[in-house]
Structure formats: C-alpha cells, structure tokens
Structure 1
C-alpha cells in the first residue's frame, strides 16, 4: 500500500512539472511577439526572401539594406544610399586625345608688375609717413615706405665733417671774391666775374651734398604698385647692410609660373598648358622658354590667366603641358581617381543597379581637371565621377 501511494504521488508531480513548463513556454512566446503585427504575414507568398539577405542585419528581420563591401571586393550600395552620398556617373568614351607632359614648377611674381626695395648703403631704417610697412599692406609706385639714415664709423664721420668745414671756408672765400669783383665791375673783366660766380655756386652744391651725406636720410620708395609680400621683419631703428632686400612687392592679380622642361622639344610642340596647385586648377598662357640649361633643364615661363587669390609666390605646382601628339583613352574628371589596396590608382564602375566595382587603371593627365584612362576601362562603362572617395572608405 505504501509503495503504490508513492507511485501515485510521483505521477502527479510529473504532470504538474510538464504543465508548468508548457505555460512558461507560452508566456515567453507571447512576450517575444507581443508588439508585432502579423496580420499581413498571410499575404506574403511562400518562399519570399528579403531583397538582399547579405545586407540585412542578422537577427533583425525587415531591417533596410545597408551599404557594405561584398566578399568579391565590390560594394553593395542601395539606391537610397546612392542619393545620400550624391554619387554621379558618366559613361566612358574611348577615343584619340592630346598627349600631355607633366612638369614641376612654382609660382613666381610677374617681372613686369613686381619689384624689390633694397638698401643702397648701410644705414638705419626709420618709419615712413604711414609707419613701418608690414606684410599685406597695399602700396602705390613711388610711395615713401620708410627712410634710410646712413651710418658710418667715427673716423669716417670725422673725415666728412672735416671736408665739410673745408668746403665752408672755400665758399666764404668765394663769396668775398664775388663781392669785390662786383664792386669793381667795369674795371675787372666780365669773364672773371662770371668765373667767380660759377666757382661760388659749385662750392655751395658740394657743401650741400657733403652735409646731406652726414645727417640726411634717403627715402625708400615703392618700386611697383601692389601688396608687400615680405618685409623681412624690419623694425624702426634696425641697421641694415648695403644691397640688403628690405621689401618685396607683388601684384596678386598678375602672377606667373616657371617650370623646368627636361625635353628641349616641349616648347615647340606645346599647344596649351594648365597647372594644379593642390586642389586649385590654374589656366596658363605660355610666354616663352629659355635657351640656357638650369639644373639640366630648360626654364619655361607661363602667365596665370584670371584671379590668383588662392596661390602664393613660391608655391609648388604641377604644370600639365598639352602637346601635338595623341594617345588613346577615355577622358574622366580627376575627381574620379581614388586609391585602393596598396596605394594603387583605381576608379569605381557602376556595374549593376546597386553594385559598384573598383577597376585598377593606368592614367595620364589631360589638364588640371581631367585625366585620360589609358588602360582599365571599356567602352560604355559608367564611371563614378562624384563621390568616389566616399566609396573607397567603405570597409
């Protein structure tokens, strides 16, 4: 009897355990899906899958597709993301293009509209009517920038003062002689009176020049109209040496570019030229080329056409010279180029509606804003011309 009662109690406990487990499972299911609406699930045909299973976030059904890199290295970019990134493409058109040559150059002031102010002798710099000139100040040709007062040693100053005293004595003698001759006019030949007057005037001028060399300051005049680009940190009272450059004046609207050509025939085949200063494109006009080698190259001079507020004197630039020779390729904007892998140059091609592929290319510059893709593209390939850098940042 006792053993049969134990069996009945065990069976009852087992049933209670199974029932509680079932209730807990139902409760968990209700909590996990309590806020979801499944009224439209029946409308979905069997076997329907998301647009791109790879683009969905694992464990989150219904999440919109996101931009990501696929296993083959290409990019999956949904249409909505393409619009957000501002991607633009253009078809590649292969054809014959003008060959170019890239030269290293730098921005220089135009020799016709620039100038320097140098010290003619050793002296002390004194402020001008508008104070000491500073970098960026606009000046007009002939304007007094500063004064240069000569400086000399004690012996030199003593000799100058001695010479001045001697000239003053000679002038006093000459003045007295002229007065006596004028009193004896008629008795003294007229030619002797004129000679005495000429000698007196010459002594007056010599005395004035010697006196000016001792104390007078010489004005430092602006040699061109423009902007002071360098003042060499001059301050009032600074002593400078003879021939020292004190101020440099340039016209920011009239600048030039000097490039070095290692092929003497470039100047003869040159059609047009542009320059690239960092991200700034410059249009150039060829002025002429030298005939004497400098650093084993011939210097070529170009004048910058248009406003040049974004470049400075001495700034290095890449000069792109268009020649009469031809090459075959597809022209694309320079912004389409990007770096992939180990620094290799590539462009992004719109292969499918939401898929982009990076193509390694070989290119040559056409001008400051465009390049020719000589290898790596096919006719009709849609190349990304805006937003290529953003695609390269996807990991």
Structure 2
C-alpha cells in the first residue's frame, strides 16, 4: 500500500512539471527586438534599423530636421569649365616671329598684377643676315636721298622770289615722304613691344628670355579673378530656353544665367553663367566644374541637405529617419539636386524626422 502511494506522488509531480513547461518555444528562433537592443552600444538590429543610445547620439553630433514636402524648381546638372570674361581678360600674342626680350621690369610671371598698357616684354624680329644687310642698305639709301632733298629745299627757299611756290611745296612733300619711309623701315627692323590689353593678373606666362616664338603664339593670358565666368554644355535647346539661376555643385556659390548659344558647337550648346558675388569662390581659368542649373519646371519632394543622403549595401540612395528615441531606420529615396548643397528627396512621408548631420556615421554602424 505504501508503495502505491509513493508511485502516485511521483506521477503527480512529473505531470506538474510537464504542464509548467508546456508553453516553451524550443525552435531556436532569433531573439526578439527588445533583447537585441538590451545594450548600451550602437548596433544594427536584425530588421535593418540601427540602435544608437542617446549618449552616442550626442558624441556623433546627430542632428535631425522635420521633412516638409513642397514644390521646388526642377534642376539639371551640367558639365562646365571656367572661362575668362571677354571684357575683363585678354591674351598677348606675337604679331611676328622673333626672339623674346624682357621688358623694363623683366618678364612677368603667373600671379603678377599688371595694368593696361604696361610693357610686358619685347619681340625682336627674326631676320637673316642677308635680310638685315638689305634693310641697312635701304635705310642708308633713304638717308642719302633725304639729305639731298633737304639741300634742294634749302636752295629753293633762298630763291623764293624767283621759284614758283608749287616747286617748293613739291620738294617739301618729297622730303617728308623720304623721312616717313625711313621711319617705317626702322620700325619694321626694331623690336615689337608686348603691352597688356587689360588690367588684371597674369594667369599664364609661357615664355622665357631668348625664346623664339612664331606669329600668333599666345605669350601671356591676363584675367580679372573677380570676373571669371562659367561655360557649361547643354544638349537640348528647350532646356537652354528654360534655365534660370544656378549654383556650383557641392557649394552654395550662386550663379547668374547670362545666356545660351543658339548654334551647336561640337554637338552641344554653350551656356554662360556669372558669379553673383564677385570673388565669392576662388576659381582658376580652365578649371572643370559642375553646375546645378534651375529650370522653370517644378518638382515635389522634401528639400534636404545633400549630406543627408547616403548609400546602403545595395548602392541605393537612402536617408536615415529618426523612428524612435534611440532607433533610426534607412528609407530609400529618389534624389534630385536642388542646388549645390541641397537635394530634393521623393519617397519620404511628410513629417518624418530626417538625419541631416551624422548620416554617414549611422550608415557605418554594424
């Protein structure tokens, strides 16, 4: 009898333990999100969101802004380069071939300031010994003729009462002609002065003393750094007609649309822009730039700083949305440049709090 009671007690105890453990899940599944974020370190959660504690947000300087959908001008990105203003820059070229000599202050170098009319150097004409001998002989002949004409004119003036006045005038004209011929020939054999066509800064100097140059060679380029222009290339006449303002890509440097060509050049239409604020951004002649130009068309989206947009592992454009106090989620968006420093993101819900500073750091958390 005692044995039966003992077996009954053991059976009751076993059934109680089985019932107590009947609701457990032994499937070995992933831990729930609450367990995943039970840590004080930034980490990426299984659902793709990122957990960043408050103290880490302060260290990473995370900043957010509430996105507001609005209509903004549609923009296009154009390739361009820096060119000189034709009214504030110029080139110094040789009219004839010859040898370079320094000016009164020597030859200028890149970066040197010059004023209009300043002598930058000289070109000594390149002539052979035979040509030089012929020129010297011709100058000597003209000199002899001029002296004879002077003596003849002096005799005629002494006989002014008996010699007709027209003979005196003819002799005077002949003497003047001989002198002009001698002066012209002397100038042709002399050196050519190279003068600055405008005031500005030497952008390029490609000569040294003694260098032999050919006619039409560009010796110096002079620009006004405060009045440089941007020449971009467009491939659609309708686009050129709809352009308004613009800015340099990656900066907040505003540009003013000057005008666009109506004739194709190498398959493209040149478009000119000018800096709204002279000297606002240091540029170099010939520098390649990208221009974000606004058109008269509009597009709807959420304006954001360009730093808000990053790339995920699938190379998609995303922004990080502050979903909860310490949780951020990446949202894929379609991005259109707004100006050089801002973009328009389509695909965001209005009112979403978007990370504007520190998005790259959040994107690196694993």
TM range (shorter): 0.7 to 0.9
| Structure-to-structure mapping, 1:61-210, within 5 angstroms | 65-210=40-185
| Structure-to-structure mapping, 1:12-27, within 5 angstroms | none
Unmatched 5+ residue regions in structure 1? 1-50, 57-64
Q: What is the match of residue 211 of structure 2?
A: 238
Give the C-alpha shift of residue 249 in structure 1: 0.7
| Structure-to-structure mapping, 1:1-395, within 5 angstroms | 56=39, 65-214=40-189, 216-232=190-206, 234-276=207-249, 279-306=250-277, 307-375=279-347, 377-395=348-366
| Aligned-partner Cα distance in 2 for 1:293–1:105 | 15
**Please, which moves more after superposition, 238-247 or 175-184?**
175-184
CA deviations on 1:354-385 (whole Å, 9 max, x unpaired) are 1222222211111112111123x111111111
| Aligned-partner Cα distance in 1 for 2:320–2:285 | 37
| Aligned-partner Cα distance in 1 for 2:78–2:296 | 16
- Is residue 253–residue 281 contact of structure 2 (8 Å, CA) maintained in 1? no
Instruction: Give secondary structure in 2 for the equivalent of 1:201.
Output: helix
| Aligned-partner Cα distance in 2 for 1:94–1:217 | 69
1:247/1:158 Cα in 2 relative to 1: closer, same or farther (>3 Å)? same
Instruction: Give secondary structure in 1 for the equivalent of 2:88.
Output: coil
| Aligned-partner Cα distance in 2 for 1:142–1:393 | 59
Q: What is the match of residue 19 of structure 1?
A: none
TM-score (norm 2): 0.85
Instruction: Give secondary structure in 2 for the equivalent of 1:207.
Output: helix
Aligned pairs, how many?
Answer: 332
| Aligned-partner Cα distance in 1 for 2:86–2:225 | 12
Q: What is the match of residue 18 of structure 2?
A: none
Structure (1 or 2) with the larger CA radius of gyration: 1
| Aligned-partner Cα distance in 2 for 1:227–1:210 | 35
- Is residue 55–residue 66 contact of structure 1 (8 Å, CA) maintained in 2? no
CA deviations on 1:230-285 (whole Å, 9 max, x unpaired) are 112x2111111111000001111111111222121123322322222xx3332111
| Aligned-partner Cα distance in 2 for 1:327–1:146 | 56
- Is residue 252–residue 309 contact of structure 1 (8 Å, CA) maintained in 2? no
TM-score (norm 1): 0.79
